[in-house]
Each structure stands twice: as structure tokens, then as C-alpha cells.
Structure 1
């Protein structure tokens, strides 16, 4: 592939009509901090840059902001053109907004719907719900009000980074998952025996409170008293390595970035790792079901079983583009049902 100039690379980035796949072909990732917060960089093998441009690029953080800007620029253009697709507003994490290299859930839903996306890879429920908003109110609430005459549903994706990411409350740099895991040393195969139950219960209680606040804040606006709200609890991932033929080798993270590196210190190996994750995911869905039981217009999209094979995963926690298509199909089926009422 012939090199392009740095100026041409920037033109690609700033044109919302440039397909993500084209940008990905000329880009690479610098891994981010925390659960997932990468920096997109021009690939020096494919983009010709001077030394000054290389130094300037190293000081720029292009990732979540760029991906969101491109997606929402396309949304604005579509509205101005009179696009009649149903409008959705979304807030969430990397299952809703993955910078450039994967087509995630919102990427696929952006075909049948017009989606304004306030999501960011690596974001946590703690930050989305209790962080200091830039404009005095949560961004998704601002956009819901802006689209109040058009919006048909709100989609929310949060919890994963609160568990696999660093413990923000403790501030000690330790991933929460490491604090959850334990090894009873008895050889039991019961996955529940390998987690600190009180720790899991406390984390889920916080998440339940956060979800309740999101729903309550939306319902506080009379226009949104019955607005459909869709939530989900992910699918059960495959910690790396999953057998001798695990071919996952993401450009944006270490192979065991989130899961394998948490299980190893606890001495937990093999299929038991995934059984423990299945136990945790089931408990997350049980919490979400309780949240939904309090409001008939909150709908849990059960994504379990959408990514049943290691080849459906691009890394330990993200589906491939095709894998995410299966997840998006579950959302689309739920939207089709609830929007028909």
C-alpha cells in the first residue's frame, strides 16, 4: 500500500464520510490506561511524516473524541438531509463506541436507525452517572432534550469497566476483578467459591443504584415518562488464552489485558475461568432484571449466547465486527417489538 501524506491522513480523519475501515488501514493504536482508552495514531509505515509531525502527533490524543465526533457529524448530516429513520440516543462504553478498528453495536444499529452516541470506550457507570458533567447536566440528558420531538428510545451500556477496570473509589490502581477473585484452595469446581461474595454484592449494589439514577433522571422529564430504555449485561467472554489455538492478537491491547492478567495471580486456570465469568454475568443480569421490574418501559436485552466462540471475539472483552452484528440483532429485535407498541 502506497504511503499517504500526514495532511491527507488528517483529511481522512476529519471527513465523516470516510469509512472507518479506510482510516484503520492507515492507523495504529497506542494502548491507553485503565480498562480501555486507546490513542489512535497514524501508522508510520503507511503515513509519511516529518520529525516535527511525529512529535506533535505524540502529544495528541485521538480516539474516543474523534470516533464520537465522526459518528455524530454523520447524525447531524442525516437529520439535515431529511432522513426519516427512527432516532435513538445512546450512552455507554466500548460495546457502543469502539474507536475505528471495530464496528460495534451502535455501528451496526446506525444502519436501520439514526443514533446520537455519547458513548466512550473505557467509560464507567461511575463516571457516566456520577462524574462531573461538562455542561451542567449529563450529555445524554442534554441530547435527549435536544431530540425530544424525534427520539424513540434510549440505549445504555455500562458496568463492564467498573468491574474489569481499576478501582476508582479506592484509587489504588488495582483492577476490581482482582479484588473479586479468590482461590479457596480446595479444588472445588463451583465457580461461586472463587469470588468474594460480599465484594460482588457491593459492586452490584452500586451499579443497581447507578442504573436507577439514570432511569430516574430520564423519567423526571415528563416527555420521557414512557420512553423505552434498553439495557444489557454483555456476553460471557473467553479469557486469554483459550486453548492452544487462540488466535486473538489485538493491535490495541495485550492479549491478557483485562481477564487473563486478573485470573493468573489467583492461580485460576482453564475453563474454570470462563465459568466464573459466566457466574458473574448471570448475577449482573439478575440485577438488571430487578431494575427493569420497577419500570415497564425498561427492557433488558439478553446478549448471552451471541458470541459463543473465541473466534467471535476480537480480544478478551470485545466482539469482532461480525460478532457485534449478532449483538446488534438482539437490540434491533427488542427495538422492533417495543417501538411497534
Structure 2
């Protein structure tokens, strides 16, 4: 397998793209635009996207699907970004007019083969979740989920997804757009552990969580099992009310799809903190994600 390149600096991407084009290699090397949150960007370890770009040496020997000619990845993801527009930190929302317009400029100018998305998890936690459950107490996991559902948050995120996907589909109708679900969290209330062992980016990371536990501890009764159930319900709701309706939207012509990653990481040892798998956990999920990604590429680029 040829080595993939993941370039977050736009000038570097342009230079690499033009070099591959001059060498007549773009007919077999996929070019992929990536936008997302911490599952694509966390510095805590090799994340989901890192493992897709740079598989483990043993993956090929173990039969894990790989990109045969490598790939060129245009990466603009950032930890903590939300899908839906927000007023508190408008620049930290992905599916907004300004951000979509910016990315479409690149999408139209370069011959991308796919768009990868990781978005929506941050929209339902942290300060938003605190506000949604404010004043509530003695709730079951299901009752707390119903409170969240009644806020209209799922509809907000669905509309944001539909806006992003619709804009990219209109620009280039034949390019697949692939997202993913999140897996069910286990370590509710556990914050991220930072240190020099994960590099300078980890030391400088501003938010270490937890993003769910403190907001449900005094609201949902039953302790950890009920808190975990609440998180599972949130993720199932995200799939059923956001990802699946966008996938089924006839106006998008089947351009959008998602990889279901739920239920794969049942061992607490595969979770780094409340919302992020360990390096080994992300590696396991990446094998699943990469197989779907490859299947959607043009045959010559798989």
C-alpha cells in the first residue's frame, strides 16, 4: 500500500494535489475532504481518521481493507466543533453558511472523490445538556431522553446536516458523503487524562470533560447504569432522528450514508474518557469505517 497524506495546511494540499496531477497519478489515488469533531481530530491518541489515513502495519496481514494506492486527505476537522449553528461560539459550528461556502470553494475546484463527516456528538452534551436538564430531578434515563427530544435539538441537527449535504450534493451530485454514528459510552463522568506522553497538542487541549456526567448526576437516578442508558438513548436518537432521515431524503439522491459503529467497544479498557475511545478502540472502529469508505470509491481508486 502506498502511504496516504493528510494535509491540514491548505497550501500543502494544493501543492501535493498539483504534484500528483502532474504525475498522472490522480486516476488511482483517492482525494478525500474531511470535516469533523474530535473523533477525527482528538490529539489524545491516533483517532478514527488518523487510523484511516495511516493504518497499522499489521492491518494488511490481518485482512483489514486498506486504500490500495494510498490517498490524499484534505483535513479541516477540529475537536469540540458542533454540527448545528450556535450563538455562543459561532466559529465552532461546521454546518454554517460561512464554513460551507469556504469548503465548497475547494470542493468545486479540486476533483474530490468523497467527503467524510464526523459531527453531532458535541451538540447534545456539555453546556447545552446542562441547560436542557436544568431544574429537572429524579428522572429515569428514558424520561431524561424525552426531555432532550422535546427541545427540538434533534431537528436542529438534522436540518444542519441536510443543509451541508444538500449544498455539497448540488455542487457535485455523484460524490458520496459518508458520516458515522458514535459508539455507546461506558465511562460516564470520566475526564480525559492529558500529559506529555500524548504530545504538546494534548497539553494545550482546553477541554478535558467530562461533558455528560456532571449534567446528569443530579438529574437521572440509578447511578452509572442509568447514565449509560441515557447516553445510549441519545446516540440511538441521533441515528434515528438525524442520520437516517438525511440518508432517506430522496432529494439527495442517495449521496449521503453513514457507518453504524454502535456496540463495538463494550470493554471499558477501549475507552480513554467519557466520549473518546483509546487508540486501540479507534483502531477497531477504523477498520469498520474504512471498509465502507473503500466500497464507495471508484473501482480504480480502491
Q: Structure 1, unaligned stretches of length 5 or more? A: 1-66, 166-174
Shift of 1:278: 0.3
RMSD of the alignment, in Å?
Answer: 3.2
Pair member with larger Rg: 1
Shift of 1:196: 4.2
Question: How far apart are the structure 2 equivalents of 1:115 and 1:248?
Answer: 27
- The equivalent position to 1:278 in structure 2, one of 228, 232, 249, is 232
Shift of 1:241: 5.0
Alpha-carbon contact 1:68-1:97 (below 8 Å) kept: no
Residues 54-104 of structure 1: CA deviation (Å, up to 9, x unaligned) = xxxxxxxxxxxxx933x98478547625564311111111111123x4211
Alpha-carbon contact 1:234-1:304 (below 8 Å) kept: yes
- In the alignment, does 2:113 pair up with 1:163? no
- In the alignment, does 2:183 pair up with 1:235? yes
1:312-331 matches, within 5 Å, as 312-331=270-289
Partner of residue 292, structure 1: 247
- In the alignment, does 2:157 pair up with 1:207? yes
Q: Structure 2, unaligned stretches of length 5 or more? A: 1-6, 55-66, 86-92, 196-204
- In the alignment, does 2:47 pair up with 1:104? yes
Structure 1 length normalisation: TM-score? 0.65
- The equivalent position to 1:220 in structure 2, one of 165, 170, 173, is 170
- The equivalent position to 1:339 in structure 2, one of 294, 297, 302, is 297
1:254-273 matches, within 5 Å, as 257-266=210-219, 268=221, 269-273=223-227
1:1-341 matches, within 5 Å, as 68-69=8-9, 73=12, 76-77=15-16, 80=19, 82=23, 84-99=28-43, 101-111=44-54, 112=67, 113-125=71-83, 126=85, 127-130=93-96, 132-133=98-99, 138-148=101-111, 151-165=112-126, 175-181=127-133, 185=138, 191-197=141-147, 199-200=149-150, 202-221=152-171, 224-240=172-188, 249-251=193-195, 252=205, 257-266=210-219, 268=221, 269-287=223-241, 288-294=243-249, 295=252, 296-339=254-297
Question: How far apart are the structure 1 equivalents of 2:148 and 2:192?
Answer: 33
How many residues are paired up? 253
Shift of 1:267: 5.1
Question: How far apart are the structure 2 equivalents of 1:68 and 1:122?
Answer: 17
Shift of 1:212: 0.6
Structure with the larger RCO, 1 or 2 (CA within 8 Å, 6+ apart): 2
Shift of 1:202: 0.6
Residues 228-270 of structure 1: CA deviation (Å, up to 9, x unaligned) = 111122111124457xxxx973445787521222222325422
Question: How far apart are the structure 2 equivalents of 1:267 and 1:192?
Answer: 9
